[in-house]
Amino acid sequence: MRNVRVFKWVVVLLLVVACYGAYKALNSPIDQTVYKVEKVNSQVSLYVTEGSAGATTAFVYQFYLVPSKVTEATFLKGIGDKYQPFLSTSDGNAKIAIRDSAIHLNVKGDVYRFTNGASYSTTIYLNASPF
């Protein structure tokens, strides 16, 4: 009879721990800060954010195209909903060159995601190498 009570408490405790773990996993957003801002043309700016998911993970750098009128605070509020990155990489020292409203990126390191469906009348050129 005592074993049944102990088993019930162990099950309840495991359920509480599992629920807490699921809650933390679903509600732990990556903390992003603005790392760089570059003006591409009169309509758009390039925002680079540095994201960290905690002390044991590496930084992730995400690149966004944002209308020039948008303030930094408004941009940070709209990340994920209104603004999506076109590039996610591990390279914080990616070289950015802007010529004739075209963005030339030279990335050394991991490229986690890249989409070249950019808007705002700009073209993106990516040169990436693992080292």
């903390």: which residue's tokens?
A: 31
Residues linked to residue 63 through DSSP beta bridges, in sequence order? 48, 87
112 backbone dihedrals φ, ψ, rounded to 5°: -85, -30
Percent of the chain with pLDDT over 70: 84
Cα–Cα distance for residue pair 15/45, rounded to 1 Å: 47
Per-residue pLDDT for 97 more than 80? yes
* Residue 30, amino acid: I
Q: Please give the radius of gyration of the chain, using alpha carbons only, rounded to the nearest integer.
A: 21
DSSP state of 69: T
Whether 63 contacts 84, CB under 8 Å: no
- Write the pLDDT tens digit of every residue in 14-53: 787 776 665 555 554 568 899 999 999 999 999 999 998 7
pTM for this one? Answer: 0.74
Highest mean pLDDT among 51-55, 68-72, 113-117: 68-72
